[in-house]
Amino acid sequence: MTVASSVNQSVATLKNIEAQLSIFALNSQDETASRTFHEVMLMMEDIKKDLQARVTKLELEEPQYKNN
């Protein structure tokens, strides 16, 4: 497995986490719980952006491993 593809896998996991957090944020009956889920979801979004930028860079450096 190339670096780019394993980093890509992490991006997918992060997306999954983000979606699940958003479900919990919507479904929670308690307001603090709902807010916490939402805050962490925004945090995950930032982390995901950082990681995606890294993927783009990796693919530029090693175009032969570009994930189609």
Which residues of this chain interact with other proteins, rule CB under 8 A? 3, 6-7, 10, 13-14, 16-17, 20-21, 23-24, 26-30, 32-33, 36-37, 39-40, 43-44, 46-47, 50-51, 54, 57
Q: Between 7 and 59, whose beta carbon lies closer to other proteins?
A: 7
Q: Between 19 and 66, whose beta carbon lies closer to other proteins?
A: 19
**For residues 29 and 44, what is the distance between their CA atoms, to the nearest angstrom?**
22
Half-sphere exposure of 8 (CA within 13 A, CB side): 13
Return the DSSP state at 47: H
- Per the structure block, which two tokens stand in for 44? 């995950």
